[in-house]
A = this chain, B = another copy of it.
Amino acid sequence: MIMHYSVNTIPVGVLGASGYAGRELCTLVARHPRFQLAFATANEQRGQRMRVGGRDMTFAAPDDVRLSDAAVVFSALPHGASLPWVDRAAAAGAVVVDLSSDLRPGQGGAGQSKRAPVPYGMPELGASTRAAIRGASLVANPGCYPTSILLALAPLQASGLIAPGATIIANSASGVSGAGNSPKRELLFAEVADDYRAYGVGNTHRHLHEMRATLQTLGSDADLVFTPHLLPVARGILSTITVPLVEPLADPLALFRRAYAGEPFIEIAEEQPTLRDVARRNVVRISATMIAGTRQPTLLVTSAIDNLMKGAAGQAIQNANLMCGIDECAGLPA
């Protein structure tokens, strides 16, 4: 099949399109002013139709698509399975955003050890990160929990406000879509409804390594305790983060506002951010409050994202926009 695109259209492929992040990507591509979906693969669901952005599309088998048909390829394949396809897409000449953890910092897998690190796709970490993404042909899209936590910590670290040797406590609660849509008994409605629980306790969640490595890159020597929880909602993450400071902060919101001035996808709020505030939007919404009555000056930062948007597909589009040299906000509901 020969596809014709208008001059301004950028053909896009989505690998692993049947998962929640993959579907969200297809929807965002369908609404994007410049991107156009060239193919969307899903191995198990090959041949099945999906409705995306008001149009019907069909999942292709991975081996049936020509990767060179796409100028931009998003891989939403599972962790571990993504890397070979990322390499194939890159070899075919595509700009690639990898939503899996395979190439993120701190993974240290066998496949990764031989490779040069790729830019970490969190543009708001700072000017050098955004520049690196702009110039890259391959970017590792951050995890959902790291997005909500690292963007809440970066301004504090940059300001030298985190107490030396501090232990930062990050409690996160995530909607169920974060666990994917493979059928598992513990994710059934009748199991999850009316319930709430911690999981991955004791610093055993994979995202911890990604956060630690990034914090070290930012120059932090803090320890991190990360405890995720499973919420009975479909989408959204709220992180509640306690940070020991070197001294009390008179106006913590002002610090965040300064640090993120001009950022289109970061909102600093006086009121506590909620999952609803950020649903279906590519934003991080952050608030910060000094804790009263403790000897150790302590800041509470709360941070909300939609795990499928700023936590996955939305941030991937944002990165692809930067890599393609087009408006960073193109096609993203803010």
Q: State the copy count for this chain.
A: 4
A176 within 8 A of B: yes
Q: Please state if A190 and B175 are interface contacts (CB–CB under 8 Å).
A: yes
B197, B234, B300: the one within 8 Å of A274 (CB):
B197
Instruction: List A residues 150-183 near B (Cβ within 8 Å).
Output: 165, 167, 169, 171, 173, 175-177, 181-183
What is the bound-complex CA distance between A298 and B287, given in angstroms?
26
The interface size of chain A toward B, counting residues with CB under 8 Å, comes to: 66
* A276 neighbours in B (Cβ, 8 Å): 194-195
Interface stretch of the complex, out of A92-100, A237-245, A317-325: A237-245
Instruction: List A residues 225-241 near B (Cβ within 8 Å).
Output: 225, 227, 229, 231-236, 238, 240
What is the bound-complex CA distance between A184 and B199, given in angstroms?
22
* A302 neighbours in B (Cβ, 8 Å): 198, 201
Interface stretch of the complex, out of A33-41, A77-85, A124-132, A288-296: A288-296
The residue on B at minimum CB distance from A200 is B272
What is the bound-complex CA distance between A203 and B292, given in angstroms?
6
What is the bound-complex CA distance between A231 and B177, given in angstroms?
17
A223 within 8 A of B: yes
Nearest Cβ on chain B to A160's Cβ, whole angstroms: 20
A-B pairs with beta carbons under 8 Å apart, 18 shown: A169-B242, A176-B188, A176-B189, A176-B193, A181-B185, A189-B193, A194-B236, A194-B276, A195-B233, A196-B274, A197-B274, A198-B302, A201-B289, A203-B293, A223-B294, A225-B242, A227-B240, A229-B240
